[in-house]
Structure 1
Amino acid sequence: MSTSATPREFSVERDGGVLRISWDRPDALNALTGEMVLGTAAAIEAAADDPAVRVVVVAGRGPAFSAGADLEEVNPDQPIGEATLDAANRLIRAIRAVPKPVVAAVHGPAAGFGASIALSADITLAASSAYFLLAFAHVGLMPDGGSTALVPASVGRARATRLAMLGERVDAATAFDWGLITKATSDEDFPAELANLTAKLEAGPTAAYARIKQALDTTALSALEPALEVEKEGQLALFESHDFAEGTRAFREKRKPRFVGA
């Protein structure tokens, strides 16, 4: 049996024990609006208390997983409010707190906050077309969405610093080799791999999965909650900086930004 709800920018569908959340702004590379972030968080939070849901899959329609926060929504002359970061942190907390496996199905770019979401999942499956990019510094910001805890927990401090400061793309094969993601596969095999993976998780011991997730969060991701708070404080300060205003203007004007360090 399948049930669905289809807001304008994303869809939520349940087929058996699999809850699929699909972002649906393909022309914008699934750049995330407030509606998409809050709607995704709410759907995952609801899944926590729904015994019919055994696994959650998050994906993007079209050519991308997500290009991150929608910079077209940003007015560089108006500070971004605290609510924006609270919404982002709510989604990351929902992914980690739900006692069900969460799968990120990634093809094309997973950039900025889109990368943070992909890397916060329990299982991250990437097609060969996928790449991961902590693009925040390109617009004068720091990583958020827990990336300052999630990335070093997977690849170590040196590589995490490289990705955060230099903003380099990491392709699917490299991401797998580094231990950043669970598995990389060809674009042709990606749908079958995703179907097999979700079927295995759906049929698996979900009570054990919940305990495994809780234990790994306690041991490997104990820094996540402090990181979310430090990121929020730092990002709020950076939102008011000259460099962020310049970075967003340069993004819209498709030119290289001229940062001054303030």
Structure 2
Amino acid sequence: MTHSPLTDVPVLVEREVVADGTGCLVRVQFNRPDRLNAVDLDLLTAFGDVMSSVAEVGDDGLPVRAVVLSGAGKTLSAGADLMNVVGGGQDPAAIMAAASRAVLGVLDCPVPVLCALTGKSAGFGVSLGLAADITVMAENGALVLSFADVGLSADGGISQLLPSAVGRQVASRMLLTGERVDAATALSTGLVAETAPDADVVRRTEELAATIAAKPAGAVRGIKRTLSATVRADIVAALDLEAVIQEPLLAGPELKAAAQRFFGR
């Protein structure tokens, strides 16, 4: 880990995830644009490591006031990397453990995590957007709830996060039909905090982060902690159940068939 001489905020570089600090802001970026930042065991592990390091920096009293999460290229994440998850022999239990750690890394971060949802985010990418404290979505973007389409159940805590935002009936419709949610609907149903022109999503997210960073640090951390505490137990329970259900599906024939259809095109 190296430190910036100006900010003393670490610059963390993993192959799949990059984090850098400017002033009181830490930017964390998924760094697999050639694969639309699709998640597999390696990316999930790297993201969990980065979020753990960010939390340690904040606890050490260094000037971290907010985190901005984004994806290099067109989207935050297109969901599961079918090639690596199915064809790479990755262990389903390890994948689900890493996914849970990633979501809890956002929830347990001592400072607010703001998420920039650019383009079309799918699957676990949607879960992370819902887990963040504040999410800004591109006006022409979409949330693609495609779990069932590829033979998977819900994961990333979305079985708790989604119905908490839109209610059980609407959440059931969205997940069971593989609904594609546009930005206007996402905003009106409380799935995101704001929308912004496509080219301005990251800038607007960083602008909000800067506004938060200017507030008294103790107050900001207190609000983050109390809001997270009210839902943490339910999210942990959801993650645990999701893992039990999802692990066999990750090794199941439906996901393999979906991967064959996708890569056979």
Q: Report the TM-score, using the length of structure 1 for normalisation.
A: 0.89
Mapped contact 2:37–2:78 kept (Cα < 8 A): yes
Q: CA RMSD in A?
A: 2.0
Q: Where does residue 31 of structure 1 map in the other structure?
A: 38
Which residue identity lines up with residue 194 of structure 2 in the other structure?
Answer: K
The answer to whether structure 1 residue 130 and structure 2 residue 146 are counterparts is no
Which residue identity lines up with residue 38 of structure 1 in the other structure?
Answer: T
Residue of structure 1 aligned with 2:154, choices 143, 151, 156: 143
Separation in 2 of the partners of 1:245 and 1:192? 39
- Corresponding residue SS for 1:22: strand
Q: Where does residue 248 of structure 1 map in the other structure?
A: 259
Q: Where does residue 43 of structure 1 map in the other structure?
A: 50
The answer to whether structure 1 residue 7 and structure 2 residue 18 are counterparts is no
Which residue identity lines up with residue 194 of structure 1 in the other structure?
Answer: T
- Corresponding residue SS for 1:38: helix
Aligned residues: 254
Which residue identity lines up with residue 160 of structure 2 in the other structure?
Answer: A
- Corresponding residue SS for 1:132: strand
Q: Where does residue 82 of structure 2 map in the other structure?
A: 71
Which residue identity lines up with residue 64 of structure 1 in the other structure?
Answer: T
Separation in 1 of the partners of 2:87 and 2:31? 26
Q: Where does residue 121 of structure 1 map in the other structure?
A: 132
Alpha-carbon deviations, 1:212-240, whole Å to 9, x = none?
A: 23322333454211100100000012224
Q: Aligned-pair distance for 1:134? A: 1.9
Separation in 2 of the partners of 1:35 and 1:239? 16
- Corresponding residue SS for 1:74: helix
Mapped contact 2:126–2:145 kept (Cα < 8 A): yes
Q: Where does residue 216 of structure 1 map in the other structure?
A: 227
Q: Where does residue 58 of structure 1 map in the other structure?
A: 69
Q: Where does residue 162 of structure 1 map in the other structure?
A: 173
Relative distance call for 1:83 and 1:191 in structure 2 (3 A) is closer
Residue of structure 1 aligned with 2:96, choices 85, 90, 100: 85
Relative distance call for 1:47 and 1:78 in structure 2 (3 A) is closer
Alpha-carbon deviations, 1:127-148, whole Å to 9, x = none?
A: 2132112211111111101000
Q: Report the TM-score, using the length of structure 2 for normalisation.
A: 0.88
Mapped contact 2:75–2:121 kept (Cα < 8 A): yes
Q: Where does residue 106 of structure 2 map in the other structure?
A: 95
Mapped contact 1:153–1:220 kept (Cα < 8 A): no
Separation in 2 of the partners of 1:4 and 1:79? 29
Alpha-carbon deviations, 1:11-40, whole Å to 9, x = none?
A: 110111111111122222111233322122
> Tell me, which stretches of 5 or more residues in structure 2 are unaligned?
1-5
Separation in 2 of the partners of 1:195 and 1:19? 10
